[in-house]
């Protein structure tokens, strides 16, 4: 290299001589710098691809979580509906109550008022939707009069209601539980009042489904009482 110094006392080259090895080394360095730049660009592209893939994966996971949350909410809603259904139907030991009808009687009367025929037939129709249903009939009396007479009247009332169910509802005897004559037991009204006495002169009819046969309440229809 040959040159001269400038005003700042810096060497300014007039010409520079390289030997073959110096040129080769310079070209090698330049090639290395270019290769590094190419690799850096490639790495940047790969990083961007990974970032895009990660974003897509996160979006998929979010969608899956939302679907899972929705499914869990539906399961919780179904459980709540089943619990509510169970509360509506009520339970009697080993039976679900599908429907219930209360038949009221006048003082000293055992004949069934025709107005109760339709609700009794509705109960029968509802019960017949299920295999293994049973119908239970219990007769009651007020505590007015002798206990023996009231026992007899509760039995007659239960039998008269049972006959309507069997004859008009065509319910087989195998589906009927033995009618119960409950007499003056289990008073629901105050026997000191006429209204209470009227409430106690009753027959309660229930359509039942054995829990072992039913398995679950999920398929049962809603019952209006």
**In the prediction, which pLDDT does 42 show?**
82
Of the candidates 56, 163, 73, 70, which has an alpha carbon nearest to the alpha carbon of residue 120? 163
Catalogue the long-range contacts made by 108-114 (C-beta closer than 8 Å, 24 or more residues apart).
108/153, 109/201, 110/153, 110/156, 110/157, 110/160, 111/160, 112/157, 112/160, 112/161, 112/164, 112/203
DSSP bridge pairs for 176: 135
* First and final C-alpha spacing in the chain: 113
* Mean pLDDT along residues 104-113: 93
In the predicted model, what is the mean pLDDT of the chain?
80
Q: Residue 64 in contact with residue 57, Cβ under 8 Å? A: no
Between CA 102 and CA 204 the distance in angstroms is: 5
At 145-170, the pLDDT tens digits run: 888 998 999 999 999 999 999 999 99
Query: In the beta sheet, which residues pair with residue 96?
Result: 91, 209
Q: Please determine, for residue 218, whether its predicted confidence score (pLDDT) is greater than 50.
A: no
Specify whether the CB–CB gap between 200 and 141 falls below 8 A: yes
Residue pLDDT, tens place only, 37-66: 777 778 888 888 888 888 888 888 888 888
pTM above 0.85, yes or no: no
> What is the three-class DSSP state of 7?
coil
* Mean local confidence (pLDDT), 205-218: 74
Q: Among 66-75, 117-126, 208-217, whose mean pLDDT is lowest?
A: 208-217
The CATH architecture one would assign to domain 93-214 is 2-Layer Sandwich (3.30)
Q: Which of 7-16, 27-36, 48-57, 213-222 has the highest mean pLDDT?
A: 48-57
Phi and psi angles of residue 20, each rounded to the nearest 5 degrees, phi first = -60, -40
d(CA 19, CA 3): 18
Please state the domain extents for the chain: 14-89, 93-214
Provide the pLDDT for residue 124: 96
């Amino acid at each position: 290299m040959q040159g001269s110094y400038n005003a700042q006392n810096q060497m300014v080259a007039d010409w520079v001589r390289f030997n073959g090895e110096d040129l080769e080394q310079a070209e090698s360095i330049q090639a290395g710098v270019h290769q590094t730049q190419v690799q850096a660009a490639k790495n940047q592209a790969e990083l961007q691809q990974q970032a895009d893939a990660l974003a897509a994966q996160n979006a998929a996971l979010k969608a899956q979580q939302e679907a899972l949350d929705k499914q869990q909410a539906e399961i919780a809603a179904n459980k709540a509906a089943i619990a509510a259904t169970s509360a509506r139907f009520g339970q009697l030991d080993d039976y679900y109550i599908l429907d219930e009808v209360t038949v009221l009687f006048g003082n000293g009367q055992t004949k069934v008022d025709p107005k109760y025929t339709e609700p009794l037939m509705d109960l029968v129709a509802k019960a017949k939707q299920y295999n293994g249903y049973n119908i239970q009939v219990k007769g009651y009396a007020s505590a007015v009069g002798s206990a023996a007479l009231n026992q007899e009247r509760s039995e007659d009332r239960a039998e008269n209601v049972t006959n309507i169910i069997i004859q008009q509802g065509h319910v087989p005897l195998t589906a009927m539980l033995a009618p119960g004559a409950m007499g003056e037991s289990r008073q629901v009204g105050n026997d000191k009042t006429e209204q209470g006495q009227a409430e106690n002169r009753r027959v309660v009819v229930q359509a039942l489904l054995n829990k072992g046969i039913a398995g679950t309440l999920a398929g049962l229809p809603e019952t209006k009482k």
